[in-house]
């Protein structure tokens, strides 16, 4: 197995059999994580980039079976932030040292292209030195182009699972793996820095599915890769399913770091939700980004994609301070930087 880890570290690739063996045991985790940490330090040193997350709407027209804000959840209390509230989040974030704002929301029909372009242009006008990331789901190529021309430069859209049959078991009819992939390629073609990723331990997922996810990412070559354990939500059809495993998620973060040395990989809030030190352990397994919440505290609990989400009670400044201490204790440092991906030779 040590040979497999070395092969992965040296060639950024491994056979399906090698990956399957590596993902199926915890025996080599220590070695795997230390190779991943070495690789991350070689490219990014001990820097941890922060992204200020603004969850600006929890309305969504979709009905993904695993999601707490799916349109079919009658128990969800819905909200939308106004343009002024979004800009106030950015102002507070900028003051705290954030140089990336991530506007995340459900696929809210209220958010016309004109509204999104207006918000993006206003942020761009005030914060020329910041990256603007959108995470608002599947759109047409024309819409993506309009947001880009308004000033957005990054887009996050997890593919969730690259296997069409598995995708159909997690999503309602009308959504497809093919369209999700089409969106990701459109975004790349337009010139966005693109982020994708998947849930670990979602219902019906097999190790083969996870290997397909890695192969899809090798094909897509995204700049950012976000993965997190699946966490069940009581108001969804998957209410009875178990949460994904912390250990397997960490193993996959390490594999991703070795396959994609230059990628920006967040230690996600979902990791911190399944274990009190989940984000710290994510950093030590190769992650180099954290995404604290800049949304107003009054709406934090309402953006409930999954159960027991952490950091819903603290103001942005408290979150920033808490994360700073956690990141330092894990052996890294938060930096005030736009945090673009390093891309030697155009590769990630
Ligand atoms: S996962 Fe995204 S698209 Fe699906 S229901 Fe939730 S917010 Fe909407």
Q: What is the pLDDT of residues 256-303, one digit of tens each?
A: 999 999 999 999 999 999 999 999 999 999 999 999 999 988 888 888
Report the relative pairing of strands 333-335 and 47-50 from DSSP bridges: parallel
Pocket test for ligand 1, best of 53, 55, 66, 70 (most atoms within 8 A of CB): 70
Nearest CA to ligand 1 atom 4: 64
E strands, 67-201, are: 100-105, 131-135, 154-156, 193-200
pLDDT of residue 317: 74
As a whole number of Å, the CA-based R_g of the chain is 19
Q: Which two tokens stand for residue 235?
A: 């108001």
Nearest CA to ligand 1 atom 7: 106
270: phi then psi, degrees, rounded to nearest 5: -60, -35
Question: CB under 8 Å, gap of 24 or more: what pairs does 68-71 form?
Answer: 68/233, 68/235, 68/236, 68/304, 68/305, 68/306, 68/307, 69/106, 69/303, 69/304, 69/305, 70/236
Mean pLDDT rounded to a whole number for the chain: 95
Concatenated DSSP letters for 305-325?
SSTT-SS-SS-HHHHHHHHHH
CB of 99 sitting under 6 A from ligand 1 = no
CB of 68 sitting under 6 A from ligand 1 = no
Q: Rounded CA gap, 339 and 6, in Å? A: 28
Nearest CA to ligand 1 atom 2: 106
Residue of 304, 234, 219 lying closest to 270 (CA atoms):
304
DSSP-assigned letter for residue 344: G
pLDDT of residue 347: 56
Q: With cut-offs at 50, 70 and 90, classify the pLDDT of residue 176.
A: very high
Q: Rounded CA gap, 231 and 250, in Å? A: 15
pLDDT of residue 348: 54
Q: Which two tokens stand for residue 295?
A: 């949304």
CB of 67 sitting under 6 A from ligand 1 = yes
Per-residue pLDDT of 199-229, as tens digits, reads 999 999 999 999 999 999 999 999 999 999 9
pLDDT of residue 300: 82
Q: How many CB atoms lie within 10 A of CB 90?
A: 22
CATH T-level fold of 45-248+272-277+290-339: TIM Barrel (3.20.20)
Domain boundaries, the chain: 45-248+272-277+290-339
Cα 106 to averaged position of ligand 1 atoms, centre (Å) = 6
CB of 70 sitting under 6 A from ligand 1 = yes
Record the pTM. 0.96
pLDDT higher than threshold 90 for residue 310 = no
Cα 67 to averaged position of ligand 1 atoms, centre (Å) = 6
CB of 64 sitting under 6 A from ligand 1 = yes
């Amino acid at each position: 197995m040590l040979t497999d880890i070395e092969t992965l570290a040296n060639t950024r690739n491994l056979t399906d059999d090698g990956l399957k063996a590596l993902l199926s045991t915890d025996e080599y985790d220590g070695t795997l994580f230390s190779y991943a940490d070495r690789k991350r330090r070689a490219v990014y040193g001990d820097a941890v980039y922060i992204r200020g997350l603004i969850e600006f709407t929890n309305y969504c027209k979709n009905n993904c079976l695993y999601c707490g804000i799916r349109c079919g959840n009658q128990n969800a209390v819905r909200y939308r932030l106004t343009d002024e509230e979004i800009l106030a989040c950015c102002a507070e974030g900028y003051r705290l040292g954030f140089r990336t704002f991530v506007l995340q929301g459900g696929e809210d029909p209220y958010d016309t292209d004109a509204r999104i372009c207006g918000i993006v242009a206003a942020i761009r006008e005030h914060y020329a030195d910041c990256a603007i990331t959108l995470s608002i789901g599947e759109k047409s190529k024309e819409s993506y182009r309009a947001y880009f021309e308004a000033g957005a430069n990054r887009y996050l859209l997890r593919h969730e699972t690259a296997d069409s049959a598995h995708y159909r078991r997690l999503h309602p009819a009308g959504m497809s793996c093919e369209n999700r992939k089409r969106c990701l390629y459109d975004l790349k073609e337009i010139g966005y820095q693109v982020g994708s990723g998947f849930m670990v331990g979602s219902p019906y997922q097999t190790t083969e599915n996870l290997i397909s996810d890695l192969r899809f990412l090798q094909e897509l070559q995204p700049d950012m890769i976000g993965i997190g354990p699946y966490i069940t939500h009581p108001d969804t059809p998957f209410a009875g399913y178990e949460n994904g495993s912390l250990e397997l998620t960490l193993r996959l973060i390490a594999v991703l770091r070795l396959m994609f040395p230059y990628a920006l990989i967040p230690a996600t809030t979902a990791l911190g939700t399944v274990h009190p030190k989940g984000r710290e352990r994510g950093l030590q397994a190769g992650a180099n980004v954290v995404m604290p919440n800049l949304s107003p505290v009054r709406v934090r609990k309402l953006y409930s994609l999954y159960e027991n989400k952490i950091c819903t009670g603290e103001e942005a400044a408290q979150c920033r301070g808490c994360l700073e201490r956690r990141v330092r204790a894990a052996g890294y440092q938060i930096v005030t930087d736009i945090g673009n991906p390093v891309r030697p030779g155009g590769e990630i």
